[in-house]
């Protein structure tokens, strides 16, 4: 069974990029799926939706 949400580190591993590159993508690319926090504190974990990341990646492949 595929995960519904993945952590920041898992997203980096999935896309084969470093944390800075992922942070830059989330900030500068309006089409990139936005991360969401589980909680309101600064230390709350940050997640990405797996399906959104896969859809974004497939769209990038189709456009190139």
- Mean pLDDT throughout 39-55? 93
Q: Note the pLDDT tens digit of each residue in 3-17.
A: 789 999 999 999 999
DSSP-assigned states of every residue in the chain: ---SEEEHHHHHHHHT--HHHHHHHHHH-TTSPPPEESSSSTTS-EEEEHHHHHHHHHHHHHH-
Domains, the chain, in order of start with CATH, read 5-63 (1.10.10)
pLDDT of residue 3: 77
Whether pLDDT at 1 is above 80: no
């Amino acid at each position: 069974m595929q995960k519904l949400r993945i952590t920041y580190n898992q997203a980096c591993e999935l896309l084969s990029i470093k944390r800075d590159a992922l942070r830059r993508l989330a900030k500068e690319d309006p089409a990139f799926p936005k991360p969401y926090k589980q909680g309101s504190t600064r230390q709350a974990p940050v997640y990405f939706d797996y399906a959104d990341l896969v859809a974004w990646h497939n769209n990038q492949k189709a456009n190139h």
